[in-house]
Amino acid sequence: MNQTRVLRKVRIDRILPAHFQARQMFPPEAINQLAASMKEVGQNSPLLVRPAKPANDAAPSDECFELVCGECRLRAAKRLGWTTLWAVVEEMTDEEAALRGMVDNEQRRSLNPIERASGYQRLINEYGLSQQQVAQRGGIAGSTLSRLLVLLDEPSEIQEMLQRGALTEYHCRALDRVADRKKRVKIAREVAQREMSAKETEDRVEKLIGRRGRKPVGKKRESPADLAADYGGYRFWWEGKNVGMQMRTFQAHDSVEQYATNFRLALKGFVENEPCPEAIPSVDPEVAALIATSAASVSTGGTAPSGLPAQPSVTAPLQESPPPAITEQRAVKLFGEALKALGETVEEAMRSKKR
């Protein structure tokens, strides 16, 4: 691919909107402030565009470009009535353009948490990238990306609070401890109304959970679900030799195929990174060495080490621990069956509604 970069002036009416724009909110006051600055000192930094096919209403000879970075500067220039802007013209693929636009927004800190999460989720869905690939190419820590994607599972009212800045992702970390979603929203409204800090929110949630979860006798045991590992919004934990799981919300922009692929990758990552603790029973190293020495001595007709009773000369074969009751393939199959059943239920409900 041609990597030539050319700095040149581009007609504003020949710049087409970006096909991938994570930012959805452009406050008028921010655009007005940028326009005033550009009117005073001019354009400090060029746009980034790539060659594009002419629009339907444009002549075949008209040269058109697709915007990659610089949405706010373009809007401000239009407000000022400018006709041209300096731009760097560079050839790039759809995937490269999407990543460059996302990174530019991140560097300028112009996205709210939901825009960040939705943008990264679109990169995963539209280009078949794994979380690890997105994190690596976007220059973001994998743990940060996972925490961002979890925000897309929050109730819609909490997501709206995140978009307008009434809550931050740090507030949500504390609020997520409230399992009941209606109660979580109620506390979130209180936090936003009182403008509570993340620490105050954590104390408020701790007080609520402590009061309702306190038992008169004994210490509360953590359930396996409380220790669940999060993989891109999918939560997994071991229940004996079975895998417990909590699926992330199916979003409007998700496809069934990509959702199933993301689930499979998440489950595979969990099984590989956190093997079943009961699959292979742990043995104290000193005890294992002592047993091995004893077995070798008895099998050769010797005497057992002191402290151990003599053993018969016939040794039973060692039995391997059974594999976990559920495998990755089995879990994916069950997930597919569940999606099929869900689709049939929705269709039946729609038919009943028409009657």
Least trusted range by pLDDT, from 94-108, 137-151, 248-262, 310-324: 310-324
Which has more pLDDT, 277 or 83?
83
Residue type, 196: M
pLDDT of residue 39: 93
The Cα–Cα gap between 69 and 147 comes to: 26
The Cα–Cα gap between 221 and 240 comes to: 16
The Cα–Cα gap between 108 and 110 comes to: 5
Which has more pLDDT, 247 or 70?
70
pLDDT of residue 91: 93
pLDDT of residue 1: 43
Q: CATH 3.90.1530.10 occupies which residues in the chain? A: 5-111
5-111 placed in CATH 3.90.1530.10: yes
Average pLDDT over residues 16-29: 86
* pTM metric for this prediction: 0.53
pLDDT of residue 195: 93
The Cα–Cα gap between 161 and 165 comes to: 6
The Cα–Cα gap between 127 and 89 comes to: 23
pLDDT of residue 306: 45
Average pLDDT over residues 129-153: 89
Q: Does position 332 have pLDDT exceeding 90, yes or no?
A: no
pLDDT of residue 110: 81
Which pLDDT band, with edges at 50, 70 and 90, does 347 fall under?
low
Q: Does position 3 have pLDDT exceeding 80, yes or no?
A: no
Tokens linked to 40: 């005073």
Which has more pLDDT, 271 or 128?
128
pLDDT of residue 318: 42
245-298 pLDDT, tens digit per residue, is: 877 777 766 777 777 777 777 777 777 767 776 655 554 555 455 545 544 544
Beta-bridge partners for 89? 6, 49
Which has more pLDDT, 348 or 162?
162
Q: Over pLDDT 70: what percentage of the chain? A: 68
